[in-house]
Structure formats: C-alpha cells, structure tokens
Amino acid sequence: MTASKAEPTEVECFGNKAQGKRMNKRTFTLVIILLVCVLGLSVATFALAPKVAAFPVLKKPDFSGQAACEVIRVVDGDTILVKTDTGLSKVRLIGVDTPETVHPSKPIERYGKEASLFLTNLLKGEQVYLLYEGEKATTDKYSRLLAYVYRAPDGLFANVEIIRQGYGYAYTRFPFKYKTEFRQLEQFAKQAKKGLWESKARAVKSKKLPD
C-alpha cells in the first residue's frame, strides 16, 4: 500500500513564504543597486564630456545705403581683389587664415588650392559689401584693406563660410569683434572633420599605416 505524501505543515508553509519574500527583496535590492550604478556612470560620463557651445548665429547687418563692390579676382583663400569707386583694392578677410598658395617665400600648403577654389566659387564675379572693424577702413602691412565681406544681395558672410565649411582657420592673433564666434565655428568644423580638418585626419592616418 502506497503511503500518501505528507501535506506541508503550517510552519513549513510560513517558512517557504518568508524565504520567497527574502529572495524577492534581495532581487529588488540588486536591481536598485544596478540602476543606481548605471545612472551614476551616465552622469559621470556627461559631466566629463567636453562642453560644446551652441552653434553661433551672427546677426546680418543692415546694408541700407551701403555701396557694393565688384569682385574682380580671388587672390587666394582669404584675399580678394575688388573694384571700388576709388579703383582696385586688395581685401584681406578679417579673422580668417587659409593655407598659403601665393606667398612669395612659402610653398603651396596642403588644402590651399581647395580653399582658393571655394572662395572663387563663392565670390568671383559677385558684388560684395565691405564692413570694417571700426568706423574707418584699416590696412595690414601689405596695404590690403581689412574687412568683413558679405555677398550681395543675399548677405552671405564670406569670412564665416570659409571657417564653417573647413576651408580656413580662425585667425585670432589680433582682437576683433567676432573672435569668440569664429573660434566656435572652427571647433564645429574640426569636430565634423570638414574640409582641411578631414584632410588632416587622412594625412595623420596615412602616416600611421605600416610600410
């Protein structure tokens, strides 16, 4: 005759329930600890990440009453020749420096031709507005007008476009009113590996390749 299975006593049932509760509580505690660790890691990563400034937006000037000049020739990536009421003048774009292509004592630098072509496509044959750092025009040691160059009639800011698209650097050796914004534009172009920044990255990578 087969013996019937003994039913668990009330004490055993209570013990099993208590053990289950302890296991559930332990599991819940482990989940909370894991979530806290993940959250803490995310906060630490965010805190250590480099702070990226908001993309600078420069207000377009009012060109009412401003006479436009004709661009006769693009000399290089940061210099143009324009025709004004007083004749031909070379204009050096303020706050911008592009790789050399026409320097009398320097070789053509990497990405210099691309920078010159970019500005040629942007301005050759166009009308431009010239605005200056102060109320009056100033010149550099090569007798070039120093100016902010805006394409007419759409007001495209050529100085900004060169840096934003990665065809030149922010030239901050001397103070000018858009110094901070131009630096920010350079950082955005660098992070996006635009233009010469992409070219530099490829050059560094090719140097690291084994022979």
Annotated catalytic residue within 12, 22, 92, 183: 92
Annotated catalytic residue within 126, 144, 161, 186: 144
100 is catalytic: yes
Annotated catalytic residue within 10, 12, 26, 100: 100
173 is catalytic: no
| Cα dihedral 59, 186, 132, 129 sign | negative
According to DSSP, the β-strands at 96-97 and 127-131 are unpaired
List, in order, residues 6 or more apart from 153 with CB less than 8 Å away. Answer: 127
144 is catalytic: yes
The C-alpha atoms of residue 27 and residue 178 are separated, in whole angstroms, by 57
Would you give the DSSP letter of residue 89?
E
Spacing of C-alpha 25 from chain mean position: 50
Q: Which residues are catalytic?
A: 92, 100, 144
